[in-house]
Each structure stands twice: as C-alpha cells, then as structure tokens.
Amino acid sequence: MVRVRVMLIAVAGLLAASHQASAQWMDTRQAMGFGPQFFGGASPIPRENVYYPSDYAPGTIVINTAERRLYLVQGGGQALRYGIGVGRDGFRWSGIHHVSAKKEWPEWTPPREMLARRPDLPRHMVGGIENPLGARALYLGSTLYRIHGSNEPETIGQAVSSGCFRMTNDDVTDLYNRVSVGTLVIVKN
C-alpha cells in the first residue's frame, strides 16, 4: 500500500509538470477517490449538507463573510455549506453578482492596486499548482473578485484575502462542477 501511494505521488509530480496534465491529475485523483491529502490539504472546515431555510432559488450561492461560509442552496430547506477564506479588514464587501466565467487552472495577473501594496508579487502566473487561484475559479460579474481555490488550505476560515473568496482545491472543484455561468451570487457581511 505504501508503495502504491509513493508511486501515485511520483505520478502526480510528473503530471503536474504541465498545465493540462495537472488539470487531468486533479480530475483523475477525484475520480479515483483519493482524499485531499494528495492535493493541497484538507479543509479545516469540512463541507457538509445543512438545514438552510431561505427564499433563494436552488442553485443560488450565498456567501456569509461574517460566518466565513459559502452556501449552495439545494432547495427543500437544505444547502451545501463550504468553509471559505474571506477579505481581511478593509477588503470585505457585499453585493449581488452572477458567475460571469468559470476557469480551470486559471492564470493570475495581480491587479494594479494589489501590486502597489505588494510590489514583490509576480506580474503574471500561468495556471497550475503554485498559482494562488488554485484549481478552479468562478469570476463574479465585472468585479476583480473571484471564488477560487487555494494552495494554502490553512487560510480557510481566516480573513486574509484582498476581497476574493478562497476555498480548498477540492471544495472549489466540487462547487465548480455544481454551478454554471449565470449563477446568482449573494455576498453578505
């Protein structure tokens, strides 16, 4: 069993060498049932089905920044609840948007405002395991904000971002597969 795991980890390293190969590895890993310890770590806040009575239509995403939770409304008084990382003080916001785009292994170009605060950041990063947007990203309207994966699972449940909502790569991939472009996103403080 140890030998099989070592082999799988070695295969993961080889596949991660290219953008497309890393996307295939993520999908294959999930299909094979390997847990998050193989990719980015487990969320400190497990995903779970919860009682969530609301007037929102099934498929609506409701983000509660105070709780640091994202709810995907299922209907029948139920929702799928995910742990998220939120904006730090001064970077939290609220509003109503729609998912305007979905990307697998998105590229990242830090906005000017972020580069002004953090000139040490790269000007551009291709998608992949080292990219701070993680495995998937859901873009929110015409804003600079996204719901995206993270290669830092320890930040889930924390207020550390510049306004985006972070999820583990496993959780954002699960959400990505459940929603479509046009999905309503309601952000509450």
Query: Which residues have a catalytic role annotated?
Result: 148, 164
Q: Which residues contact 132 (CB under 8 A, 6 or more apart)?
A: 108, 125, 150, 151, 152
Cβ count near 45 (within 10 Å): 19
Question: What is the spatial distance between Cα 56 and Cα 26, in angstroms, rounded to a whole number?
Answer: 31
Closest CA to 9 of 39, 33, 44, 47: 39
Contact 98, 141 (CB under 8 A): yes
Question: What is the spatial distance between Cα 75 and Cα 73, in angstroms, rounded to a whole number?
Answer: 6
Structure tokens at 56: 């929102």
